Amino acid sequence: MRHEDIQTGEGISFVMPVLNEIGYLEHAVRSVLEQDVDGPTELVLALGPSTDGTTELAERLAAEDPRVHLVHNPQAHIPVGLNAAIRASTQPTVIRVDAHSELSPGYARRAVETLRRTGAANVGGVMRADGRTPFQRAVARLYNSPVGLGGGAYHGGTTEGEAESAYLGVMRREVLDEVGGFDESIRRGEDWELNLRIRQAGHLVWFDPRLSVTYWPRESWWRLARQFHATGAWRGELVRRYGRRNSIRFFAPPALVVLTAVAVIAGVLQLTRVLPVAVALAAAVLQLPVVVYVLLVLAVALAGVGIARGPRSLRERLWTLAVMPTMHLSWGVGFLAGVLRGASDTVDTSRLGTRNTPLP
C-alpha cells in the first residue's frame, strides 16, 4: 500500500524516550530543534525515573523552548514511553529519536521527502556509531562493521529500497494508529515487531542511505555486556512469538555460544584423557569454528579487517579484543535464555544508575 498524501509544510512530531541521559540529552535535543523543515515541529520527551539529573535538564530545556514537551514514563520501558509521547503529540508525521543519538542536518526534510516520493509508511536510514574514548570507539567500529553488528541495512547499507525494519523510524501517524502503535509487552526489538505489523498490514517500510543518525554506544564494558544480553534475550522472545520471520543472521551468535561451550567441554575432556581417541578427533573438528572465530577477533583487532578506516590506537585495538566476543557471546547467551524461558522478566539495566560524561 502506498501513501502519497504528505504535503510539504505539514508538521512533524519528534518523540524521544529518556532515562539517565545527562551526558547526551542536550546534544540530542539540539540536533532535533535545529532541523530545517517547512512546517511546525514539536519534540515530546518521555521521561523515565532518572537518577542523574536528566529530568531537571529536560525541564530546563522545555522551559527554554516551547517546542519541547514532557510526558512521564514511570515504568521506564521504551515502548511505553514511545506510545505516551506519540499520544501527546499532534503532527501527522512522527519521527522517533533516541537520546543517545544525534540527527544529521537536513535529516527530517529528507525523510519527509522520501516518505512522499516512495509512498512508504515508515522510513529509516543509517545508524553511524561514533565514540569519544578508546573503548567507545572500539564498540562504534564494530557497530559499523559486517563482523560486528553487520547484516541490517541500517548498519552501513548503501542501496535504497524496501526494508525489513527501520532504524528509529520516520512514520505516518495514520499507520501507527491503524496498527496500534508499539507493543508495550516487548522491551527490546519493539521497532522490528512494529515494522513487521506495518508490513503485514500491507504498507511499505523503506531504507534511505542518505539519512544518517549518529549513535553513541555504551561507555563501559559491563554496561555493554548488560545491554547486549538484554537485547539478545528479547530477540529470543521474538523468535518464540514469530519463529522464522526473524532473519537467519540472528541465529549466528547463539550458534557461536553453543559451539564455544562444546569446544570448552571437549577440550577439558581431551586434556583429562577421558575421551577415546576417535571421539577426541571428532571433538577437535567441533573446535575448529571456535578457533576460526578467535583468529577473526585477532585479525579485526590487530589488522582492522572489516572495520571502517581511520587511525586506531593500541588501546582501541586491545579493547576490540574484548568488545567483539562480548557483543556476540552476551547477545547469544541472552538469545538462548529468551528462546528457552522467554524474556518477560528481562530488563536492560545498562542505563540504570549511570552518570554519563557530557559530550563536548
For the residues of 148-188, what is the DSSP string, one character each? TTTTSGGGT--S-EE-S--SS-EEEHHHHHHHTSS-TT-SS
The last residue of one of the domains, among 152, 187, 219, is: 219
In a domain, 149, yes or no: yes
Q: Are residues 87 and 175 in the same domain?
A: yes
Q: Are residues 89 and 168 in the same domain?
A: yes
Q: Are residues 170 and 287 in the same domain?
A: no
**DSSP characters for 46-58?**
EE---SSSHHHHH
List the grid coordinates of 120. Answer: 512508504
In a domain, 27, yes or no: yes
Q: Are residues 83 and 175 in the same domain?
A: yes
Q: Are residues 263 and 309 in the same domain?
A: yes
| Rounded distance between C-alpha atoms, residue 226 and residue 342, angstroms | 17
In a domain, 171, yes or no: yes
Residue ranges in the chain whose pLDDT is less than 50: 6-8, 305-309, 357-360
**DSSP characters for 9-24?**
T--EEEEEEESS-TTT
Q: Are residues 308 and 257 in the same domain?
A: yes
Q: What is the pLDDT of residue 293?
A: 78
CB 45 within 8 A of CB 18: yes
CA angle 145, 250, 139 (to 5 degrees): 30
In a domain, 230, yes or no: no
In a domain, 346, yes or no: no
Total count of domains within the chain: 2
| Rounded distance between C-alpha atoms, residue 189 and residue 329, angstroms | 18
In a domain, 359, yes or no: no
Q: What is the pLDDT of residue 15?
A: 97
Nearest to residue 135, comparing CAs of 317, 328, 298?
A: 317
In a domain, 233, yes or no: no
Burial letters 127-163, b for 16+ CB under 10 A, else e: bbbbbeebbbbbbbbbbbbebbbeebbbbbbeebeeb
Reported pTM = 0.84
Q: Are residues 172 and 315 in the same domain?
A: no
Around Cβ 232, how many Cβ atoms within 10 Å? 31
Q: Which residues share a beta bridge with 306?
A: none
Q: Are residues 32 and 180 in the same domain?
A: yes
CA angle 148, 240, 161 (to 5 degrees): 50
Q: How far is CA 274 from CA 57, 187, 261, 263, 269, in A?
A: 62, 45, 17, 15, 5
Q: How far is CA 180 from CA 52, 122, 176, 184, 203, in A?
A: 33, 14, 6, 10, 14
Residue 287 half-sphere exposure toward CB, CA atoms < 13 A: 14
Residue ranges making up the domain that contains 174: 12-219
Q: What is the pLDDT of residue 281?
A: 65
Q: What is the pLDDT of residue 305?
A: 41
In a domain, 29, yes or no: yes
Q: Are residues 73 and 172 in the same domain?
A: yes
pLDDT (tens digit, 9 = 90+) per residue, 115-154? 999 999 999 999 888 888 889 988 988 888 777 775 555 5
Q: Are residues 247 and 200 in the same domain?
A: no
Q: Are residues 211 and 251 in the same domain?
A: no
The CATH number assigned to the domain holding 163 equals 3.90.550.10
Q: What is the pLDDT of residue 358?
A: 46
Q: What is the pLDDT of residue 70?
A: 97
